[in-house]
Amino acid sequence: MPNTILPSSGVLVGRAKIPGHATPRIVSVRDGVVFDITAKAAPTVRDIAELDNPASYVAGTAGTKLGDVDAIIENSWAEKYDPAFPALLSPIDLQAVKASGVTFVASLLERVIEEQAKGDKAKADSLRDDVLKLIGADLSKIVPGSPAAMQVKEALIARGVWSQYLEVGIGPDAEIFTKGQPMSTVGFGADVGLHPISSWNNPEPEIVLVVSSAGRIVGATLGNDVNLRDVEGRSALLLGKAKDNNASGSVGPFVRLFDGDFTIETVRAAELSMRVEGEDGFVLDGHSSMAKISRTPESLVEATIGRHHQYPDGLVLYLGTMFAPVKDRDGPGKGFTHKMNDVVSISTPSLGTLSNRVRLSTECAPWTYGASHLLRDLAKADLL
């Protein structure tokens, strides 16, 4: 596999399972080689994120050579994994896993359509043109929460198309929800899961910020916020069922830590590309431009953590996507939904590529290693 999976530069930190170690190991990449930098000073990615200068710590910790990064990446695919060799895990551990929704106008429109269609994808196409005619132009340059946004809100209420999604899309308060529990995300090459009840679903390519307990953004990575469109479309109160299932959130391949060359400005300018490749020969290409986000990354972090809500172990925050697939897969008017064994790849030059295979959540490896297991293993290894 060509190594567009890693950015060409930057301070990278992640986690790996390594033969002979019960606890996940903290790793970094230097000149194409993976090093184990696990140390008592910062035995988790959470601990590294809490340091004054995480990038300096990772770059300055010598570590132990594990092997060629390409070989370890290849061994990270679930169907190819050999436990005799290292493999990547999700690059985060004890952080809360949060997500922001409806942060792009394109995805906002699709959420409104989902709601109007009541989860029925057959109705979505006919509704899409009607909704776009009513509200598409109104929202393209609206700043959420601004007086202009409130004027649009009143106009849409008068037209009878106001929606809870429009409320969080252009209203004063961002949608912030819990994507999963700490330690529940999967990494590069792992299978991602769809709840078996869903027949209309899609990937969501996103940048994921890594945030310390003080609310400081220390780095970023890529994420797939797997989404069940039919479930959420039936009712927004089913958001937990639509978003939080076994293996329904992937993150990786590594966290790139902020330094002089990689900053929040890099994140703001990022262009994400995504490809879905099916065993049936179907290919779907999509993109998401951070320049078109309707709320700044910093404002989304501020909506998540502050005096109103603390996260002692920090958090990661999916920033949302403008990608909303409408390409027909099985015939005209049938729209897009996943099939088993689709491979989803999400890329941007500054962060690399995150790839996963799609399966049912009931068929993905069950989540059995949580925070309590990690802490016990760290204690046994004298790393606490």
Beta strands in the chain (DSSP E): 12-17, 25-30, 33-36, 64-68, 87-89, 96-101, 175-180, 191-194, 201-202, 205-211, 217-225, 227-228, 249-257, 271-277, 283-289, 315-318, 343-348, 352-360
Mean pLDDT across 263-288:
95
Evaluate if residue 304 carries a pLDDT over 50: yes
Evaluate if residue 136 carries a pLDDT over 70: no
Q: At what angle do helices 105-117 and 121-131 cross, to 10 degrees?
A: 130
Is the pTM higher than 0.75? The answer reads yes
**pLDDT at position 258, please?**
98
**pLDDT at position 377, please?**
97
The answer to whether the beta carbons of residues 233 and 355 sit under 8 Å apart is no
pLDDT interval class at 2 (50, 70, 90): very low
Evaluate if residue 134 carries a pLDDT over 70: no
The answer to whether the beta carbons of residues 8 and 358 sit under 8 Å apart is no
Least confident of 114-128, 172-186, 219-233: 114-128
- Give the tens place of pLDDT for each residue, 317-355: 999 998 878 788 988 877 899 999 999 999 999 999 999
- Give the tens place of pLDDT for each residue, 75-98: 999 999 999 999 999 999 999 999
**pLDDT at position 131, please?**
64
**For a pLDDT cut of 90, what percent of the chain falls above it?**
74
**pLDDT at position 11, please?**
98
Say how far apart CA 317 and CA 201 lie, in whole Å: 21
